[in-house]
Structure 1
Protein backbone atom coordinates (compact mmCIF):
# COMPACT_ATOMS: atom_id res chain seq x y z
CA UNK A 1 0.00 0.00 0.00
CA UNK A 2 1.39 3.40 -0.90
CA UNK A 3 1.34 6.36 1.43
CA UNK A 4 -1.23 8.96 0.36
CA UNK A 5 -0.24 12.19 -1.29
CA UNK A 6 -1.31 15.03 0.98
CA UNK A 7 -2.55 17.91 -1.14
CA UNK A 8 -3.27 20.25 1.77
CA UNK A 9 -1.33 20.80 4.95
CA UNK A 10 -3.07 21.85 8.12
CA UNK A 11 -1.58 23.82 10.96
CA UNK A 12 -4.66 25.00 12.77
CA UNK A 13 -6.23 24.06 16.07
CA UNK A 14 -9.73 23.71 14.57
CA UNK A 15 -11.39 20.41 13.77
CA UNK A 16 -9.90 18.60 10.79
CA UNK A 17 -11.85 16.32 8.45
CA UNK A 18 -9.73 14.04 6.29
CA UNK A 19 -10.95 12.13 3.25
CA UNK A 20 -8.75 9.54 1.60
CA UNK A 21 -9.54 8.20 -1.87
CA UNK A 22 -8.57 4.54 -2.05
CA UNK A 23 -8.44 2.32 -5.12
CA UNK A 24 -9.47 -1.23 -4.14
CA UNK A 25 -7.78 -4.26 -5.64
CA UNK A 26 -10.49 -6.12 -7.61
CA UNK A 27 -11.83 -9.04 -5.60
CA UNK A 28 -10.63 -7.55 -2.29
CA UNK A 29 -13.68 -5.43 -1.47
CA UNK A 30 -14.62 -7.47 1.63
CA UNK A 31 -11.00 -7.37 2.81
CA UNK A 32 -11.02 -3.61 2.36
CA UNK A 33 -14.20 -3.16 4.39
CA UNK A 34 -12.87 -5.35 7.23
CA UNK A 35 -9.47 -3.61 7.15
CA UNK A 36 -11.05 -0.13 7.15
CA UNK A 37 -13.46 -1.00 9.96
CA UNK A 38 -10.51 -2.29 12.00
CA UNK A 39 -8.66 0.98 11.39
CA UNK A 40 -11.65 3.03 12.52
CA UNK A 41 -11.85 0.89 15.67
CA UNK A 42 -8.24 1.81 16.39
CA UNK A 43 -8.97 5.48 15.63
CA UNK A 44 -11.71 5.45 18.29
CA UNK A 45 -9.05 4.95 20.96
CA UNK A 46 -7.21 8.17 20.05
CA UNK A 47 -7.78 11.47 21.84
CA UNK A 48 -9.78 13.95 19.81
CA UNK A 49 -11.30 11.44 17.37
CA UNK A 50 -14.79 12.66 16.40
CA UNK A 51 -15.91 9.94 13.98
CA UNK A 52 -15.26 8.25 10.69
CA UNK A 53 -16.47 5.83 8.05
CA UNK A 54 -16.26 4.92 4.40
CA UNK A 55 -18.27 5.53 1.22
CA UNK A 56 -18.26 3.88 -2.19
CA UNK A 57 -17.88 6.01 -5.27
CA UNK A 58 -21.12 6.32 -7.20
CA UNK A 59 -19.27 5.99 -10.52
CA UNK A 60 -16.35 3.60 -9.89
CA UNK A 61 -16.92 0.28 -8.07
CA UNK A 62 -13.24 0.10 -7.07
CA UNK A 63 -12.94 3.57 -5.59
CA UNK A 64 -13.83 4.19 -1.96
CA UNK A 65 -13.54 7.24 0.27
CA UNK A 66 -12.51 6.89 3.89
CA UNK A 67 -13.46 9.85 6.08
CA UNK A 68 -12.36 10.64 9.60
CA UNK A 69 -12.43 13.71 11.80
CA UNK A 70 -10.32 14.94 14.71
CA UNK A 71 -10.98 17.91 16.96
CA UNK A 72 -7.55 19.41 16.20
CA UNK A 73 -4.58 19.10 13.91
CA UNK A 74 -2.43 18.11 16.90
CA UNK A 75 -4.62 15.06 17.59
CA UNK A 76 -4.64 14.18 13.89
CA UNK A 77 -0.85 14.33 13.84
CA UNK A 78 -0.69 11.97 16.85
CA UNK A 79 -2.67 9.43 14.82
CA UNK A 80 -0.63 9.96 11.64
CA UNK A 81 2.69 9.44 13.42
CA UNK A 82 1.57 6.58 15.68
CA UNK A 83 2.94 3.04 15.51
CA UNK A 84 -0.68 1.83 15.55
CA UNK A 85 -1.37 3.57 12.25
CA UNK A 86 1.86 2.22 10.71
CA UNK A 87 0.89 -1.33 11.71
CA UNK A 88 -2.63 -0.87 10.38
CA UNK A 89 -1.36 0.55 7.05
CA UNK A 90 1.06 -2.39 6.73
CA UNK A 91 -1.85 -4.85 7.06
CA UNK A 92 -3.58 -3.14 4.11
CA UNK A 93 -0.80 -3.81 1.60
CA UNK A 94 -2.36 -5.40 -1.47
CA UNK A 95 -5.90 -4.49 -0.43
CA UNK A 96 -6.01 -0.88 -1.63
CA UNK A 97 -3.82 1.98 -2.74
CA UNK A 98 -4.32 5.50 -1.43
CA UNK A 99 -4.05 8.04 -4.20
CA UNK A 100 -4.94 11.35 -2.59
CA UNK A 101 -5.70 12.76 0.84
CA UNK A 102 -7.70 15.91 1.30
CA UNK A 103 -8.23 17.80 4.57
CA UNK A 104 -10.82 20.41 5.42
CA UNK A 105 -10.70 22.71 8.43
CA UNK A 106 -12.83 25.55 9.65
CA UNK A 107 -15.44 26.93 7.27
CA UNK A 108 -14.03 25.33 4.11
CA UNK A 109 -16.99 22.95 4.09
CA UNK A 110 -19.23 25.87 3.10
CA UNK A 111 -17.27 26.10 -0.13
CA UNK A 112 -17.63 22.43 -1.07
CA UNK A 113 -20.43 21.30 -3.39
CA UNK A 114 -23.52 20.20 -1.47
CA UNK A 115 -25.49 18.48 -4.24
CA UNK A 116 -24.66 14.87 -3.39
CA UNK A 117 -22.74 13.00 -0.73
CA UNK A 118 -20.01 11.97 -3.16
CA UNK A 119 -19.61 15.58 -4.27
CA UNK A 120 -19.30 16.69 -0.65
CA UNK A 121 -16.34 14.35 -0.11
CA UNK A 122 -14.69 14.94 -3.46
CA UNK A 123 -10.95 14.57 -3.04
CA UNK A 124 -9.71 16.14 -6.22
CA UNK A 125 -8.55 19.72 -6.05
CA UNK A 126 -8.39 21.88 -2.98
CA UNK A 127 -10.78 24.35 -1.39
CA UNK A 128 -10.43 27.96 -2.51
CA UNK A 129 -7.69 30.04 -0.88
CA UNK A 130 -8.63 31.38 2.53
CA UNK A 131 -8.53 34.99 1.29
CA UNK A 132 -11.25 34.18 -1.26
CA UNK A 133 -13.28 32.43 1.42
CA UNK A 134 -12.90 35.48 3.65
CA UNK A 135 -14.14 37.82 0.90
CA UNK A 136 -17.22 35.66 0.26
CA UNK A 137 -18.03 35.39 3.97
CA UNK A 138 -17.57 39.13 4.47
CA UNK A 139 -19.71 39.97 1.43
CA UNK A 140 -22.58 38.06 3.03
CA UNK A 141 -21.92 38.99 6.64
CA UNK A 142 -21.49 42.77 6.30
CA UNK A 143 -24.83 43.64 4.66
CA UNK A 144 -26.72 41.15 6.83
CA UNK A 145 -25.09 42.46 10.00
CA UNK A 146 -25.74 46.07 8.98
CA UNK A 147 -29.39 45.33 8.21
CA UNK A 148 -30.05 43.38 11.39
CA UNK A 149 -28.25 45.85 13.63
CA UNK A 150 -30.17 48.72 12.06
CA UNK A 151 -33.51 46.95 12.52
CA UNK A 152 -32.76 45.85 16.07
CA UNK A 153 -31.35 49.23 17.10
CA UNK A 154 -34.15 51.14 15.38
CA UNK A 155 -37.12 49.18 16.67
CA UNK A 156 -35.94 47.43 19.83
CA UNK A 157 -34.40 49.14 22.80
CA UNK A 158 -32.13 46.39 24.09
CA UNK A 159 -28.80 46.33 25.85
CA UNK A 160 -25.63 45.43 23.97
CA UNK A 161 -25.60 41.78 25.07
CA UNK A 162 -29.27 41.11 24.24
CA UNK A 163 -28.98 42.97 20.93
CA UNK A 164 -25.86 40.96 19.98
CA UNK A 165 -27.54 37.72 21.05
CA UNK A 166 -30.60 38.45 18.94
CA UNK A 167 -28.57 39.49 15.88
CA UNK A 168 -26.35 36.39 16.04
CA UNK A 169 -29.30 34.04 16.60
CA UNK A 170 -30.93 35.39 13.43
CA UNK A 171 -27.82 35.92 11.30
CA UNK A 172 -26.08 32.57 11.84
CA UNK A 173 -28.75 30.35 10.25
CA UNK A 174 -29.32 32.94 7.51
CA UNK A 175 -25.59 32.93 6.73
CA UNK A 176 -25.20 29.13 6.76
CA UNK A 177 -28.41 28.09 5.01
CA UNK A 178 -29.27 31.02 2.75
CA UNK A 179 -26.58 33.62 2.05
CA UNK A 180 -23.39 31.55 1.81
CA UNK A 181 -24.90 28.89 -0.47
CA UNK A 182 -26.47 31.64 -2.62
CA UNK A 183 -23.28 33.70 -2.92
CA UNK A 184 -20.89 30.76 -3.40
CA UNK A 185 -23.08 29.46 -6.24
CA UNK A 186 -22.83 32.88 -7.95
CA UNK A 187 -19.03 33.19 -7.62
CA UNK A 188 -18.13 29.50 -8.07
CA UNK A 189 -15.91 30.15 -11.12
CA UNK A 190 -13.99 32.83 -9.26
CA UNK A 191 -13.58 30.68 -6.15
CA UNK A 192 -12.27 27.61 -8.01
CA UNK A 193 -11.24 28.57 -11.55
Structure 2
Protein backbone atom coordinates (compact mmCIF):
# COMPACT_ATOMS: atom_id res chain seq x y z
CA UNK A 1 0.00 0.00 0.00
CA UNK A 2 1.09 3.56 -0.63
CA UNK A 3 0.53 6.56 1.60
CA UNK A 4 0.59 9.89 -0.24
CA UNK A 5 0.68 13.08 1.84
CA UNK A 6 0.48 16.61 0.44
CA UNK A 7 1.84 19.42 2.61
CA UNK A 8 1.87 23.14 1.94
CA UNK A 9 5.04 24.91 3.10
CA UNK A 10 5.13 28.63 3.78
CA UNK A 11 7.63 30.54 1.62
CA UNK A 12 11.02 30.88 3.26
CA UNK A 13 10.67 27.66 5.29
CA UNK A 14 11.41 25.18 2.50
CA UNK A 15 14.89 24.21 3.78
CA UNK A 16 13.74 23.49 7.35
CA UNK A 17 10.72 21.54 6.05
CA UNK A 18 12.90 19.49 3.68
CA UNK A 19 15.26 18.59 6.53
CA UNK A 20 12.29 17.56 8.70
CA UNK A 21 10.67 15.60 5.84
CA UNK A 22 13.87 13.70 5.04
CA UNK A 23 14.25 12.84 8.71
CA UNK A 24 10.73 11.48 9.08
CA UNK A 25 11.03 9.53 5.82
CA UNK A 26 14.37 8.02 6.91
CA UNK A 27 12.88 7.11 10.28
CA UNK A 28 9.92 5.37 8.61
CA UNK A 29 12.25 3.46 6.30
CA UNK A 30 13.64 1.54 9.27
CA UNK A 31 10.20 0.10 10.12
CA UNK A 32 9.42 -3.54 9.23
CA UNK A 33 7.33 -3.70 6.08
CA UNK A 34 8.39 -0.27 4.79
CA UNK A 35 9.23 -0.69 1.09
CA UNK A 36 10.47 2.77 0.14
CA UNK A 37 9.69 6.45 0.08
CA UNK A 38 9.88 9.60 -1.95
CA UNK A 39 9.90 13.35 -1.43
CA UNK A 40 8.63 15.50 -4.25
CA UNK A 41 9.34 19.20 -4.00
CA UNK A 42 6.73 21.79 -4.79
CA UNK A 43 6.54 22.86 -8.42
CA UNK A 44 6.42 26.44 -7.15
CA UNK A 45 3.89 28.96 -6.02
CA UNK A 46 1.14 27.48 -3.89
CA UNK A 47 1.74 23.91 -5.11
CA UNK A 48 2.22 21.33 -2.33
CA UNK A 49 5.17 19.12 -1.48
CA UNK A 50 4.44 15.38 -1.55
CA UNK A 51 5.73 12.71 0.81
CA UNK A 52 5.23 9.11 -0.29
CA UNK A 53 5.58 6.00 1.85
CA UNK A 54 5.25 2.48 0.45
CA UNK A 55 4.38 -0.33 2.86
CA UNK A 56 4.03 -4.08 2.47
CA UNK A 57 0.47 -3.97 3.84
CA UNK A 58 -2.01 -2.07 5.99
CA UNK A 59 -0.60 -3.48 9.23
CA UNK A 60 2.91 -2.17 8.45
CA UNK A 61 1.48 1.25 7.57
CA UNK A 62 -0.58 1.34 10.76
CA UNK A 63 2.47 0.35 12.86
CA UNK A 64 4.33 3.38 11.50
CA UNK A 65 1.32 5.71 11.85
CA UNK A 66 0.87 4.73 15.51
CA UNK A 67 4.57 4.63 16.42
CA UNK A 68 6.29 6.74 19.08
CA UNK A 69 8.98 7.56 16.49
CA UNK A 70 6.45 9.21 14.17
CA UNK A 71 4.83 11.01 17.10
CA UNK A 72 8.25 12.39 18.10
CA UNK A 73 8.80 13.82 14.60
CA UNK A 74 5.45 15.57 14.73
CA UNK A 75 6.13 16.84 18.25
CA UNK A 76 9.27 18.46 16.81
CA UNK A 77 7.77 20.09 13.71
CA UNK A 78 6.79 23.44 15.23
CA UNK A 79 8.39 26.36 13.47
CA UNK A 80 8.64 24.53 10.16
CA UNK A 81 5.50 26.27 8.90
CA UNK A 82 3.93 23.43 6.97
CA UNK A 83 0.39 22.10 6.91
CA UNK A 84 -1.03 18.83 5.68
CA UNK A 85 -3.59 19.60 2.98
CA UNK A 86 -4.39 16.10 1.70
CA UNK A 87 -3.74 12.45 2.45
CA UNK A 88 -4.53 9.43 0.32
CA UNK A 89 -4.00 5.76 0.90
CA UNK A 90 -3.52 3.83 -2.32
CA UNK A 91 -3.84 0.07 -2.14
CA UNK A 92 -3.27 -0.88 -5.75
CA UNK A 93 -5.24 0.03 -8.82
CA UNK A 94 -5.99 3.60 -7.69
CA UNK A 95 -2.80 4.80 -9.36
CA UNK A 96 -4.24 3.86 -12.77
CA UNK A 97 -7.17 6.18 -12.12
CA UNK A 98 -5.38 9.07 -10.43
CA UNK A 99 -5.01 12.29 -12.37
CA UNK A 100 -1.40 13.52 -11.99
CA UNK A 101 -1.16 16.37 -9.47
CA UNK A 102 -4.69 15.73 -8.19
CA UNK A 103 -5.68 14.80 -4.67
CA UNK A 104 -9.13 13.69 -5.86
CA UNK A 105 -10.15 10.39 -4.22
CA UNK A 106 -9.97 7.21 -6.24
CA UNK A 107 -13.21 5.77 -7.64
CA UNK A 108 -14.99 3.08 -5.61
CA UNK A 109 -13.34 -0.33 -5.77
CA UNK A 110 -16.31 -1.83 -7.63
CA UNK A 111 -15.88 0.71 -10.45
CA UNK A 112 -12.14 -0.02 -10.58
CA UNK A 113 -12.89 -3.76 -10.73
CA UNK A 114 -15.31 -3.30 -13.65
CA UNK A 115 -12.80 -1.08 -15.45
CA UNK A 116 -9.95 -3.56 -14.93
CA UNK A 117 -12.16 -6.40 -16.19
CA UNK A 118 -12.95 -4.40 -19.34
CA UNK A 119 -9.20 -3.95 -19.87
CA UNK A 120 -8.19 -7.54 -19.03
CA UNK A 121 -10.83 -9.30 -21.12
CA UNK A 122 -9.62 -8.31 -24.62
CA UNK A 123 -5.98 -8.89 -23.61
CA UNK A 124 -6.87 -12.36 -22.29
CA UNK A 125 -8.90 -13.19 -25.38
CA UNK A 126 -6.22 -12.03 -27.83
CA UNK A 127 -3.44 -13.59 -25.73
CA UNK A 128 -5.21 -16.95 -25.69
CA UNK A 129 -5.71 -16.81 -29.43
CA UNK A 130 -2.34 -15.43 -30.61
CA UNK A 131 0.20 -16.00 -27.83
CA UNK A 132 -0.65 -19.22 -25.99
CA UNK A 133 -0.34 -21.54 -29.04
CA UNK A 134 3.29 -20.42 -29.46
CA UNK A 135 4.16 -21.17 -25.85
CA UNK A 136 3.00 -24.79 -25.62
CA UNK A 137 6.53 -26.20 -25.91
CA UNK A 138 7.82 -24.14 -22.98
CA UNK A 139 7.65 -25.36 -19.40
CA UNK A 140 4.62 -23.99 -17.53
CA UNK A 141 6.68 -21.65 -15.35
CA UNK A 142 8.26 -20.03 -18.45
CA UNK A 143 5.07 -19.74 -20.49
CA UNK A 144 3.30 -18.26 -17.46
CA UNK A 145 6.14 -15.74 -17.03
CA UNK A 146 5.89 -14.68 -20.68
CA UNK A 147 2.11 -14.27 -20.40
CA UNK A 148 2.46 -12.29 -17.15
CA UNK A 149 5.03 -9.90 -18.67
CA UNK A 150 3.04 -9.34 -21.88
CA UNK A 151 -0.26 -8.86 -20.02
CA UNK A 152 1.34 -6.52 -17.48
CA UNK A 153 2.92 -4.33 -20.16
CA UNK A 154 -0.30 -4.20 -22.19
CA UNK A 155 -2.39 -3.43 -19.09
CA UNK A 156 -0.03 -0.71 -17.85
CA UNK A 157 0.71 1.08 -21.12
CA UNK A 158 -2.30 0.40 -23.33
CA UNK A 159 -5.45 -1.07 -21.82
CA UNK A 160 -5.77 0.70 -18.45
CA UNK A 161 -4.90 4.18 -19.76
CA UNK A 162 -7.46 3.72 -22.57
CA UNK A 163 -10.20 2.32 -20.32
CA UNK A 164 -9.68 4.92 -17.58
CA UNK A 165 -9.76 7.70 -20.22
CA UNK A 166 -12.92 6.31 -21.84
CA UNK A 167 -14.70 5.82 -18.52
CA UNK A 168 -13.37 8.95 -16.75
CA UNK A 169 -16.81 10.60 -16.36
CA UNK A 170 -18.38 7.46 -14.94
CA UNK A 171 -15.41 6.71 -12.70
CA UNK A 172 -15.36 10.19 -11.19
CA UNK A 173 -19.12 10.51 -10.92
CA UNK A 174 -19.34 13.35 -13.44
CA UNK A 175 -21.94 11.82 -15.72
CA UNK A 176 -21.58 9.06 -18.22
CA UNK A 177 -22.85 5.47 -17.97
> Aligned pair in 2 of structure 1 residues 63, 171: CA closer, same or farther (>3 Å)?
closer
- 1:139 pairs, out of 108, 111, 118, with 118
In 2 relative to 1, CA 62–186 (structure 1 residues): closer, same or farther, beyond 3 Å? closer
Q: Which string of whole-angstrom CA distances, capped at 9 and with x for unpartnered residues, describes residues 125-171 of structure 1? A: 21111111111111111122122212346666558936545433322
Q: Normalized against structure 2, the TM-score is what? A: 0.84
Task: Give 1:25 shift.
Answer: 2.9
Q: SS of the counterpart of 2:89?
A: strand
CA distance in 1, matches of 2:4, 2:62: 15
**Deviations along 1:39-67, whole A, 9 cap, x unmatched?**
11211211111222322332535631111
8 Å contact kept, 1:17–1:103:
yes
Q: Quote the Cα distance in structure 2 between the aligned partners of 1:44 and 1:151.
A: 44
Partner of 1:179: 159
CA contact (8 A) 2:6 2:48 kept: yes
3-state DSSP of counterpart to 1:106: coil
Task: Give yes or no for the alignment of 1:50 onto 2:35.
Answer: yes
Given that 2:8 and 2:46 are in contact with CA atoms closer than 8 Å, whether structure 1 keeps it comes out as no
Matches within 5 A, 1:1-193: 16-61=1-46, 63-95=48-80, 96-113=82-99, 119=100, 122=102, 124-152=103-131, 157-158=136-137, 161=140, 164-192=144-172, 193=174
In 2, Cα distance between the equivalents of 1:94 and 1:47?
Answer: 30
- Retained in 2: the 8 A contact 1:145–1:167? no
2: distance between equivalents of 1:35 and 1:18?
Answer: 18
The count of corresponding residues between Structure 1 and Structure 2 is 171
Aligned to 1:94, the other structure's residue is in SS state: coil
CA 1:46–1:164 in structure 2 vs 1: closer, same or farther (change >3 Å)? closer
- Once residues 166 and 65 of structure 1 are traced to their aligned partners in structure 2, the CA distance between those partners, rounded to angstroms, is 36
Give the CA deviation at 1:29: 1.4
Gaps of 5+ in 2: none
